[in-house]
Every structure is written in C-alpha cells, then in structure tokens.
Structure 1
Amino acid sequence: MRRLYIIVEGQTEQEFVSQTLAPHLRDLGIYDITPILIRTSKTGKGGFVNYEHLKNDVTRLLSSEKDIIVSTFVDFFRIPTSVPKYKDSMRLNSDNDKVESLEQGMFESISDRRFIPYIQLHEFEALLFSSNKGFEEYCEVPVYKQTKSIVDSYENPEDINSSPETAPSKRLLKINPDYDKVLEGNLIALKVGINTMLERCPRFREWVEKLIAEVKK
C-alpha cells in the first residue's frame, strides 16, 4: 500500500481532503493520506499563483520517498498561466478538454508515473452543488431556494461555468455575501456527502477511482 499525498491550493481544499475524502478512502483500506498546502516561499503556504511552486512541492515529495503517490487538488477557475501547455489548452473548445490538456502538461513536466495531476472543474464549490442538502442545512431559506435552482439546472455540477460572474463560488457569494469558504464550504460538503459527489461529478469520480487503484498497487 502506497502513501498518498495531495497537494492543495488552500485551506478549504486541505480541510475537504482531511474531513470528506480521507474518511472515504479509509473505508476502502487506504489510511495514509496527507493534504499539503502549496509552498509559496520558505515561510508561506497556500495559493496557486505560480506553477513552479506546485512543481517544487511535487518533485520534493517524489524524491523523498519511493512508495508514494502524489496528486493535486487545484481549481481550473483562474488557474495560473504558468501551467504547462496553458496557451494551447485555452485554444481547445470544451472546458473538459482544456483541463485534460493542462493535466497532461503538468504530468509531462514532472515525468513520473507516481504523479497524478488533478484539476477540479471548475472549482471546489462545484462539488457542493451535487445536492441542495448542505445549503438547506446551513443557509437561510432565501439562499437555499436559489441554490436549489442552480442544483436543478445542472445534471453535472462540474459544468457550472468559470466566468468571473458565474463560477460556482461567485454564484454563492452573490446569493450569500457572508459565505465562508473554509468553514461553511466544508460543513456543506460533509452534509452533501462524498457518495453524492462521486455520483454527480464524473471527473471527480474518475480521479478518486484512479487514486484508489494506484495507491493499492
């Protein structure tokens, strides 16, 4: 059984891996899961503003141990232009193709089969729209009535688009200006549940399934 490291861009994603994803993996016999904030300087952590920061963390981990898998959990929304193949990827027609191209560029830049790049389409908050249960639990009635309209409008929450006005997080902030990404985001995620996310979000499900397969090799 290999150890699993997941490099994340923020505290929200770090908490999600620890509180929602890791328990699911532990139920499947995978116990050694560590989320790591991107190191932006010798003392700073968090924020995906430059691909080199992420690459440094990936290569550092891969060189430190043999029996490990290193992955990423970062947003496509406002992804840095320094990510490999960025310009070519942005010329592609569909957002799914763009993300797959970016992930391939990241994989080629690391060139190690133990590395599984993953970019969330379009961002973490898309997973929250897998169900309205979390919003109904933690938000006021006027808020969760509007979130229900969004949930019902998308068969696949990952299709909620990434423009500055209509990205999942921007929709939430417009509906509820007091939305706390770290605290409320993860409480909502726990209420929605990992199984619902896996059922509704095919790219996310494919990533989790790949992690499970590779860690158990």
Structure 2
Amino acid sequence: MNRVCIVCEGATEVEFVKGCLAPHLMDHGVSACPFILRAPSGGHRGGRVSVEGLLFSDVEQFQYVLDGWDAGVRQRLIAIRAQFPTPEDINNSRETAPSRRILAALPDGGYNKTEHGPVIAEAIGLATIRRHCPQFDAWVARLEAWGNG
C-alpha cells in the first residue's frame, strides 16, 4: 500500500478527501491523508481547484442544503455553471470563487462550506465529478496508478 499526503486548502477539502477520495483510493491500494498547508501568516493557501467548484458537477445535489434550497437557488446555480466549460473553470478569481458564488446564490446562512460541501460531494459521487472535471479526473487517475503499479 502506497501512502500519499494530499495538501488541502481548508477544512472542506479535508472532509472531501476523508469522505470521498480516500475510500476510493484505498480500493486502488493508495492510503490518502489530508493535510492543510498554512501560509507563513498562519492563514490557508488557496488551491487551484476548490471542492466548491467540483460541486457544480451536479447542481441538483444542492437540494441537501435544506435550509435554502428552492427553484430560485436552483436556477442561479444552473446559470453559474452554464457560464463555464467545466466546473473547474469556475475558480477564476478570489472575488468570484465558487464558495462565494454559492453563498450568493443561497439565502444568508443557508450554506455552510464544511457542513454542506462534503455532503453534496458525496451525493454527487466521485464518478460524476470526474466525468465533468477533466483536470481532477487526471489527477485522481495518477493517484490510482501509484497504487496499481
């Protein structure tokens, strides 16, 4: 069994690795351990692809955010997704990061990154995320190959 440390942006990504990615990689002979990398200032360093961006692989699964889900939220999330070739492309600036877009689409207090993000990701499933996110898919395939080799 090969072990790999996955550098995460924050707690949401850690939970995503623990709940979605690590169990999948274990089936391929890879033990994945999430780790948060802190900047010299003590804050988190942003990543290239955020978990929130991956959630746009299937906006219907936002229904698990029960406190804020309705037809208007659904339409706003669909409109955001429609602006980009892939969910990975949504992460184009700090001001328009996927998490900020999600927070703007839902009513105040309706979305909690660390609570809802991993639940939505699990509902979407790794196969769907990989199908819609080619860079993420290629990265996961490389991790799988480490265990299959």
Give the TM-score range, shorter chain.
0.7 to 0.9
Of structures 1 and 2, the one scoring higher in RCO (CA 8 A, sep 6+) is 2
2:19 aligned with 1:47: no
Query: Secondary structure at 1:75's aligned position in 2?
Result: coil
Q: Alpha-carbon deviation of 1:28?
A: 3.0
Paired residues of 1:134 and 1:187 also in contact (CA < 8 A): no
Partner of 1:25: 25
Pick from 163, 167, 174 the counterpart of residue 93 of structure 2: 163
Q: Alpha-carbon deviation of 1:161?
A: 4.4
Point out 4+ residue stretches in structure 1 off by more than 6 angstroms: none
Normalising by the residue count of structure 2, what TM-score does the alignment of the two structures yield?
0.82
Could you say if the C-alpha distance between residues 155 and 40 of structure 1 is closer, same or farther in structure 2, counting changes exceeding 3 Å?
Answer: closer
Counterpart of 1:167, as a letter, is A
Residues of 1 paired with 2:128 and 2:94: CA distance? 27
Pick from 173, 190, 195 the counterpart of residue 122 of structure 2: 190
Residues of 2 paired with 1:191 and 1:46: CA distance? 30
Could you say if the C-alpha distance between residues 39 and 140 of structure 1 is closer, same or farther in structure 2, counting changes exceeding 3 Å?
Answer: closer
Identity of counterpart residues, as a percentage? 38
Paired residues of 1:132 and 1:144 also in contact (CA < 8 A): yes
Residues of 2 paired with 1:25 and 1:46: CA distance? 28
Counterpart of 2:87, as a letter, is P
Pick from 106, 110, 126 the counterpart of residue 53 of structure 2: 126
2:137 aligned with 1:140: no
Counterpart of 2:47, as a letter, is D
Could you say if the C-alpha distance between residues 216 and 154 of structure 1 is closer, same or farther in structure 2, counting changes exceeding 3 Å?
Answer: same
Structure with higher helix content: 2
Q: Alpha-carbon deviation of 1:46?
A: 6.6
Q: Count matched residues.
A: 144
Residues of 1 paired with 2:53 and 2:118: CA distance? 12
Deviation digits for residues 60-90 of structure 1 (CA, Å, limit 9, x no counterpart)? xxxxxxxxxxxxxx513xxxxxxxxxxxxxx
Partner of 2:35: 36
Deviation digits for residues 13-69 of structure 1 (CA, Å, limit 9, x no counterpart)? 110000011122223343x2211222568xxx8722xxxxxxxxxxxxxxxxxxxxx
Q: Alpha-carbon deviation of 1:144?
A: 2.2
Partner of 1:207: 139
Pick from 89, 105, 123 the counterpart of residue 175 of structure 1: 105
Counterpart of 1:35, as a letter, is P
Query: Secondary structure at 1:129's aligned position in 2?
Result: helix
Residues of 2 paired with 1:132 and 1:154: CA distance? 14
Paired residues of 1:16 and 1:189 also in contact (CA < 8 A): yes
Partner of 1:3: 3
Paired residues of 2:5 and 2:32 also in contact (CA < 8 A): yes
Normalising by the residue count of structure 1, what TM-score does the alignment of the two structures yield?
0.59
Counterpart of 2:36, as a letter, is L
Q: Alpha-carbon deviation of 1:195?
A: 0.6
* Uncovered stretches (5+) of structure 1, i.e. residues with no partner: 49-73, 77-119
